[in-house]
Amino acid sequence: WSFGGKNGYNHDIGNYKTKNPDDPHKRLGTESYRTYMEKLSLMEPQAFPKEMTELPRAPTADEVQKDPSLAVYTYLRQECLRCHTGSKGRQKRGDYRGIGCSSCHIPYSNEGYYEGGDKSINKKERGHLLVHSMQSSRDAKVKVHDVEYSGIPVETCSTCHNRGKRIGVSYQGLMEKAYDSPYDHEGNAQPLLHTKRYMHMQEDIHFQKGMLCQDCHTSNDMHGDGFLGGANAAAVEVECQDCHGTTKKYPWELPLGYSDEFNTTAATGEGRGTTKTMAEYLKMGSVNEPRDGYLLTARGNPLIHAVKDGDEIMMHLASGKDVKLIPLKKLKETEKLSKEGLLAMDSISSHTENMECYTCHATWAPQCYGCHVKIDYSKGKQNPDYLKASHDHDIHGKTGGMKDMRKYLVDGAVTESRSFMRWEDPPLAQNGEGRISPTIPGCQTTITVIGKDGKALLQNHIYKIPNVEGAGEEGQNAIDMAPLNPHTISKHSRSCESCHSMPKALGHGISGSRTTKDPSKTTITDIMTASGKVLPTIVDEQMPAIANLHSDYSRFLDENGTQLMTVGHHFKLSQPLSKAQRDKLDRRGVCLSCHIDIPEGNLAVSAITHIAEMAEIEIDNKQHSDILNKLLNLGAWIQVLGGLFIGLLIMFIIYRVFLKKEAINPRNEGWK
């Protein structure tokens, strides 16, 4: 996408040439699920392709010299595709894993050392499995030394899910940073993990409760349903409300498709209910007693570890732990919700109907602004092609990833960096499901391609794609903001002010981008005159220009509603907030509404202000809130009663002037 959208919005290029089965009944899942997915595939055909062709091969340095945009295939094959499970991937700390099924189902430690009992395996050599065991459901017990566990640890998932949306490491509370602190007892820097260093944030509340990724995500989420999906969200069938419900409805009272609408209005219809049956393939894992029935996902498949038990839910976790979940409706009925929660989720129904739960409850998100990618073809540089290695199978089924990777070297070497990183208050946009969602930089790829002669073929280049997302022939910047679930859920939500009073939430950038200079202009810093004339002749550019970027990377919408970059290019409804949505959200400047008349705005305000000063009344935050609440209610009652009084007065005048005069006209003289 960021190399000029070579394939447009179509998601029909993959690691392998493949196509969907001819029979729609081959799709794994319930009949309701199959019907739902057939309808969704027709709504979003670009994200649910019928067939895929194989990714083009990596170009040679000579080919890139003629067409630098071909470097995208070097980038994909050397970097992005090393996480795809057909390859063993990069052999670095935190990245050790198996291939195919064993990518998830065989335990590897971050250090990559074998700690089992097989004496034929070198225990001092990195890159080996931790022990010879299969990790899977709660029935599959794994023993490491004297500790027994079940389920697939989160760290196994984070082996891959540490790039892009970074949901694996975020779930663990790990936020990437540029610095190497803190130091260990010998003064050594923090060790690299996934070739990065981290700071520790609040973990997702589900992580804190001991929940593994598989406790929410279904078999179809992770293994697929037998049909192609061109984007992550295409395959994910679970929503928060599937287990938690809403304050007005239990999960089983919600219709199928709730919060997965791919529409801008909330799903309606009869309740989805529960089921006591499951497909045979689901019985290969642990099977729980259904009690009052298994809950259903938004798309109609059973959540086989979430069991209805009266008006509560028993979660049978892969770790072997059982957790009782109380749905939101019961929390409301038993008055267990905070007044803030009741207000946000129940009183303001548009929050529940138009927003994702995690829009408020994801209290931070990793925001890597400006993905600077250098692909260097000079001096004969080469690196492994992970996709090529995964396609090389010997007669025993072993792929190239298990062999000498030097066999799969291709021209070019990739280096990645960024402009800056943030975690707080992610901006908002509309996601592909039609709901307002947190949004982070997807791939804001700013590209430098160095040719084989060492000269830049592209320098800090941002491609533009014509006639998409509000742009004409001049093109829209192909640096993307991606709506997502950050997987950083907290019981306590982000503050109202962090959305309603912040330009960043609207898409206008951090501090409205008022504190940053235009990056499309080169910055030279050296000794200069007061008027800005540089004095030396031997100078270097401190910050070379990024030609197509005229504000910082956090700004994807200007105050006039002009879109400045693409927003979520997988699904049709992904976009910045519309004017109507921004008008509802924007409450900046509300303080001025009162304080413009304080302390001397008019006689009444002046009198109250002086009385408060004479009485030495100190107004703290609680008193301030109480005053505003009283003023709101007083103002509302005055307007209602005032309107009622005026209405009655008008009726009285009409009666006196017209009706009573009619009653004593000459024809009925004598009436009184």
230, amino acid identity: G
CA distance from start to end of the chain: 87
Given a contact cutoff of 8 angstroms between Cβ atoms, the answer to whether 438 and 360 are in contact is no
Given a contact cutoff of 8 angstroms between Cβ atoms, the answer to whether 9 and 46 are in contact is yes
pLDDT at 260 over 50: yes
Considering just the CA atoms, what is the radius of gyration of the chain in Å?
30
What's the CA gap between 222 and 229, in Å, rounded?
12
What's the CA gap between 30 and 301, in Å, rounded?
6
Q: What are phi and psi of 108, to 5 degrees?
A: -125, 140
Q: What are phi and psi of 528, to 5 degrees?
A: -150, 165
pLDDT at 670 over 60: no
> 1 is written with which tokens?
């996408």
All residues at 6 or more sequence positions from 57 whose CB lies less than 8 Å from its CB, including other chains: 73, 388
Q: What are phi and psi of 667, to 5 degrees?
A: -70, -30
The pLDDT tens digits of the residues spanning 458-474 come to: 999 999 999 999 899 99
What's the CA gap between 667 and 230, in Å, rounded?
86
* pLDDT, average across residues 424-449: 96
Output 655 or 647, whichever has higher pLDDT: 647
- Considering the entire predicted model, what is its pTM? 0.92
Say which range, 17-21, 420-424, 622-626, has the weakest mean pLDDT. 622-626
> 539 is written with which tokens?
């100078």
Looking at the DSSP bridge assignments, the partners of residue 19 are 51
Q: Provide the mean pLDDT of the chain.
A: 93
pLDDT at 200 over 50: yes
Q: What angle do CA 490, 492, 497 make, to 5 degrees?
A: 115
Say which range, 80-89, 416-425, 484-493, has the weakest mean pLDDT. 80-89
Nearest to 407 by CA among 387, 379, 385, 377: 385
Looking at the DSSP bridge assignments, the partners of residue 508 are 555
DSSP letter string over 250-303? -GGGSPTTTT--SSSS---SS----BS---GGGGGS-----TT-EEE-TTS-EE
What's the CA gap between 401 and 418, in Å, rounded?
29
* pLDDT, average across residues 333-347: 95
Say which range, 34-43, 133-142, 396-405, 646-655, has the weakest mean pLDDT. 396-405
Given a contact cutoff of 8 angstroms between Cβ atoms, the answer to whether 354 and 435 are in contact is yes
Rounded to whole angstroms, the maximal C-alpha distance in the chain is 123
> 148 is written with which tokens?
């027994």
Q: How far is CA 450 from CA 39, 84, 459, 492, in A?
A: 46, 27, 8, 48
Looking at the DSSP bridge assignments, the partners of residue 323 are 315
Q: Alpha helices, DSSP H only, in 334-384?
A: 339-342, 349-354, 358-361
Sheet of 51-54: strand order equals 13-14, 51-54, 18-19
Quickly state the pLDDT bin for 669 (edges 50, 70, 90): low
Q: With H, G, I as helix, E, B as strand and everything else as coil, classify residue 340.
A: helix
The percent of residues above 90 in pLDDT, for the chain, comes to 82
> Which residue do the tokens 């335990």 mark?
107
The pLDDT tens digits of the residues spanning 312-330 come to: 999 999 999 999 999 999 9
Say which range, 113-127, 245-259, 401-415, has the weakest mean pLDDT. 401-415
* pLDDT, average across residues 292-305: 98
All residues at 6 or more sequence positions from 8 whose CB lies less than 8 Å from its CB, including other chains: none
Given a contact cutoff of 8 angstroms between Cβ atoms, the answer to whether 374 and 415 are in contact is yes
Q: What are phi and psi of 563, to 5 degrees?
A: -75, 135
pLDDT at 537 over 50: yes
Cα pseudo-dihedral 241, 247, 250, 255, rounded to 10: -60
* pLDDT, average across residues 19-39: 95
* pLDDT, average across residues 74-82: 93
Nearest to 576 by CA among 586, 565, 591: 565
Cα pseudo-dihedral 286, 289, 292, 293, rounded to 10: 30
pLDDT at 666 over 60: no
Burial grade of 300 (CB within 10 A; 0-12, 13-18, 19 or more): buried
Cα pseudo-dihedral 343, 346, 347, 351, rounded to 10: 90
Q: Is the dihedral of CA 573, 574, 578, 583 positive or negative?
A: positive
Question: Would you list the domain boundaries of the chain?
Answer: 235-354, 622-668
The pLDDT tens digits of the residues spanning 234-256 come to: 999 999 999 999 999 999 999 99
Q: What pLDDT does residue 128 have?
A: 95
What's the CA gap between 568 and 484, in Å, rounded?
9
Q: How many Cβ atoms sit within 10 Å of the Cβ of residue 4?
A: 16
Q: What angle do CA 417, 422, 425 make, to 5 degrees?
A: 150
Q: What pLDDT does residue 671 have?
A: 47
185, amino acid identity: H
Given a contact cutoff of 8 angstroms between Cβ atoms, the answer to whether 664 and 671 are in contact is yes
What's the CA gap between 563 and 549, in Å, rounded?
13
Sheet of 322-325: strand order equals 294-296, 302-309, 312-316, 322-325
Query: In which element (H, E) is residue 177 found?
Result: strand 174-177
Q: What pLDDT does residue 270 have?
A: 97
